[in-house]
Each structure stands twice: as structure tokens, then as C-alpha cells.
Amino acid sequence: MSGGERVFTLEEANATLPDLRLRLAKIRDAREVVIRTSAKVKGRVAVDGGGVAGDPGYWEAARVLKDEVARLAEGDVVLRDPEAGLVDFLGEVDGRRVWLCWRVGEPNVAHYHELDSGFGGRRPL
């Protein structure tokens, strides 16, 4: 971890949630289009060599997905699972660095886990 990463307070992490909910919905929707189009391409490969030329929605979804994931990264929000809408924010608990952990459907950031553990290691704040 570089020393230049943002360390969020609980209040700062919670303040991002309205915007984050919108971004994660865009990511989920765009990801669904990309996956659905990929399945179509896979089915077409045997018939005509595949390709996404016939599906203009693919290119827009791919752009949205790339842009939204990049915006999260620029804001030092770590996307762990786009399907579940699971994100982490670098934070501190009891003077040590941890991941403040939130997922779509939770009203606010109310959990954390150690830097070397994942979702299974979540504990309430």
C-alpha cells in the first residue's frame, strides 16, 4: 500500500454513499449488458465467427463500466464485488489501518475488516 492513498473517516465514507449507490447501479447494469453480449458472441462464434458489431449497446456499456470503475479508483474506493455492490474504504480503527466495508443494501458503513482479511472477517464498528 502506498503512503499516498486516502484514509477515510467513517463520516467521509458514509458521505460517499449517495453517489456510490448511483455509480454501483450503473456498474451493475453495464456489467450485465457486457456479460449478456459476451454470451451472444460465444453463441455466434460457431455460426459466423462472433463479434459484437451488431450490438451497439455493448460498446456503450463497456465504456460506462470502464469509466465508473476508474472513477471509483480515482476516489480511492475499492470495488470488491460489482455483483453484490461490495466496496472497501481504507480507514482506521483503534489507531490501525483497516478496510471500512460496505455493500449495497446497507444503510451506512457499519463494518470493517483487517487489511489481510476479506468479507468473511467483517466486524461491526
Examine the domain organization and report whether 58 and 27 are in the same domain.
yes
pLDDT band at 2 (very low <50, low <70, confident <90, very high): very low
Examine the domain organization and report whether 54 and 90 are in the same domain.
no
Full domain range(s) for residue 98? 76-125
Examine the domain organization and report whether 59 and 69 are in the same domain.
yes
- Is residue 19 a contact partner of residue 25, using CB atoms and an 8 Å limit? no
Q: What is the pLDDT of residue 1?
A: 43
Examine the domain organization and report whether 90 and 109 are in the same domain.
yes
Is the model's pTM score more than 0.85?
no
Examine the domain organization and report whether 93 and 122 are in the same domain.
yes
Chain centroid to Cα 2, Å, comes to 20
pLDDT digits (tens, 9 = 90+) for 12-40: 999 999 999 999 999 999 999 998 887 66
Give the DSSP letter string of 30-72: HHHHHHHHHHHHHHHHHHH---STT-HHHHHHHHHHHHHHHHH
pLDDT at 93 > cutoff 70? yes
Q: What string of H, E and C letters represents the secondary structure of 15-29?
A: HCHHHHHHHHHHHHH
Share of residues in the chain with pLDDT > 90 (%): 73
